[in-house]
A and B are shown apart, each in its own frame.
Chain A
Amino acid sequence: GESVGLHLPTLSVQEGDNSIINCAYSNSASDYFIWYKQESGKGPQFIIDIRSNMDKRQGQRVTVLLNKTVKHLSLQIAATQPGDSAVYFCAEINDYKLSFGAGTTVTVRA
């Protein structure tokens, strides 16, 4: 079964605000984590990744935080824009296998 999951299936955020999307994983042996964004009618698109030897990684407007103690992963999006509306998946890699969580649908309000 799935070993990666998200806390909330939906998130509504005001344009310009920061978004935080959470993900819990259950396999403490997982050593690599990825966030994907999937827009309607498209395939998942890589956003950012983090290895288990790090606790924070920053990209352009996005930050991923990893808390191995509680097996928690989060994706922060700064100054959320309408184009950020999508489904966000966290994924973990363990033993070379990538497993996806159920996804969080982010809706940006104008």
Chain B
Amino acid sequence: DSGVTQTPKHLITATGQRVTLRCSPRSGDLSVYWYQQSLDQGLQFLIQYYNGEERAKGNILERFSAQQFPDLHSELNLSSLELGDSALYFCASSPQGLGEKLFFGSGTQLSVL
């Protein structure tokens, strides 16, 4: 168990809908990361937060947004969902977010039908 908690484990929704994925980092970690894993794309970095502030942005679509709350948990919001958004979404955390190893949650499997 990495100590990173993600909910829900599975999510099935329809195109055009909006969903929220939730992540609680390891105790003491200030930085949270979101990754998308598709079958043919590997692990793609979406966005990183540190202590409530956005620190780095990767290949995140404009339809997607995230935030990190004062209690350090994070949410990833996906809107206007398309079939191609079906993927595993992982959250990871690290102490300072400055090039340390990341600890990953078990992921949320999103299926857009």
**CB-CB nearest in chain A for B40:** A102
How far in angstroms is the closest Cβ of chain A from B66?
16
Determine whether the beta carbon of B107 is less than 8 Å from that of A49: no
Judged by a CB distance under 8 angstroms, whether B110 is at the interface is no
Determine whether the beta carbon of B101 is less than 8 Å from that of A49: yes
Interfacial residues of chain B within 63-109, with CB under 8 A of chain A in the complex: 90, 92, 97-99, 101-107
Q: Find chain B residues with CB under 8 A from A100 CB.
A: 42-43
Q: Find chain B residues with CB under 8 A from A34 CB.
A: 101
How far in angstroms is the closest Cβ of chain A from B21?
13
Determine whether the beta carbon of A46 is less than 8 Å from that of B101: yes
Bound-state CA distance A103–B43 (Å) is 9
Bound-state CA distance A89–B49 (Å) is 23
Q: Find chain A residues with CB under 8 A from B97 CB.
A: 96
Determine whether the beta carbon of A32 is less than 8 Å from that of B43: no
Q: Find chain B residues with CB under 8 A from A31 CB.
A: 99
Q: Which of A32, A45, A96 contacts B56 (CB 8 A)?
A: A96
Chain A interface category by residue count: 20 to 34
Judged by a CB distance under 8 angstroms, whether A42 is at the interface is yes
How far in angstroms is the closest Cβ of chain B from A44?
5
Interfacial residues of chain A within 24-57, with CB under 8 A of chain B in the complex: 31-32, 34, 36, 41-46, 49
Q: Which of B33, B42, B102, B103 contacts A102 (CB 8 A)?
A: B42
Determine whether the beta carbon of B101 is less than 8 Å from that of A44: no
Q: Find chain B residues with CB under 8 A from A96 CB.
A: 56, 97-99
Determine whether the beta carbon of A43 is less than 8 Å from that of B45: no
Q: Find chain A residues with CB under 8 A from B90 CB.
A: 43-44
Q: Find chain A residues with CB under 8 A from B43 CB.
A: 44, 89, 100
Which A positions have Cβ atoms within 8 angstroms of B? 2, 31-32, 34, 36, 41-46, 49, 89, 93, 95-103
Which B positions have Cβ atoms within 8 angstroms of A? 2, 4, 33, 42-43, 45, 56, 90, 92, 97-99, 101-107
